[in-house]
Each structure stands twice: as C-alpha cells, then as structure tokens.
Amino acid sequence: MVTQKDAQAQAEDIVGSKDSAISLVESVMGYLKDPRVQREVREFISRIGLMISMMKDYFSGRYTKIPFNTLVAAIAALVYFVSPVDVIPDFIPVVGFLDDAGIIAIFFMSFNNDIKAYEAWVSAEGESL
C-alpha cells in the first residue's frame, strides 16, 4: 500500500530526474485512458491535466518558477494517484478514488498561489490549458 509519506519519498527521488518525471507523466496519462478511471475521476480530471501541463513545462525548461516544494507535492500527488493500492484501493467501485481526489484537492488548496501564477504564465504565453 502506498501512503502519502511513501508518495512524498518517491516524489523527492523523481524531482531530480527529468526522465523519471516524464515517465510519471506518461503513467498518469496512460492511467487516464482507462474508461473506468475516466468515469470515476471526471470531476477532477482537469486538475490532473493542469498538474501534468505544469510538470511538462517545468521539466522542458519552459516554466521554471515552480517552487521546489510545490513541484515535489505535485509529483507526490500524482504518484499517489497512479498507485492502485493506496488508503482506499482504486479497484473498489465508487469510493476507490475518493482518497485520490482528496489528495489532488489538498494539493490545489495548499499551492493555490503557485498554480495561479502558472495559469497566468500560460495565459500570457497565449496558450490554453
């Protein structure tokens, strides 16, 4: 079982490796292709997309103003999300993704200013999320 503490430790390893970060993003994107996952997480799928975009822009060097602790927290949240066996295992219908949604929501509440700064940068670049 992956706990938030485990996800945090993995995130600290991943943050130092562009290849590991890209691999995580690819894992999340693959996970989101599963119709069951899409159905269960539809309410917060756009938030996950924003996290993926932010990580891609950071690791490509396009947007590097993300504070280290925000980056680690985003990675930890995504590690937790892709782990099928966490506090509430994802294979349990309806409730399996409640803990995942909670982790994503906590990330967005905790790092709102950094997320808003990223969204403003995206908008200034003339791109959409």
In a domain, 99, yes or no: yes
The domain total for the chain is: 1
Residue labelled with tokens 């709102």 = 112
C-alpha–C-alpha distance, residues 40 and 56, integer Å = 24
pTM across the whole model: 0.84
In a domain, 17, yes or no: yes
In a domain, 44, yes or no: yes
Pick out the chain residues at pLDDT < 50. Answer: none
In a domain, 58, yes or no: yes
Name the residue range of residue 100's domain.
4-124
In a domain, 129, yes or no: no
Give the pLDDT of residue 96. Answer: 86
Give the pLDDT of residue 106. Answer: 93
Give the pLDDT of residue 128. Answer: 78
Structure-token pair, residue 117: 């700064």
C-alpha–C-alpha distance, residues 76 and 80, integer Å = 6
- The Cα-based distances of 54 to 3, 19, 43, 90, 94 in angstroms read 24, 16, 19, 25, 28
pLDDT tens per residue, range 37-55 = 888 888 888 899 999 999 9
Give the pLDDT of residue 76. Answer: 94
As a whole number of Å, the end-to-end CA separation of the chain is 32
In a domain, 117, yes or no: yes
Are 96 and 88 in contact by the 8 Å Cβ rule? The answer is: yes
In a domain, 59, yes or no: yes
Give the pLDDT of residue 84. Answer: 81
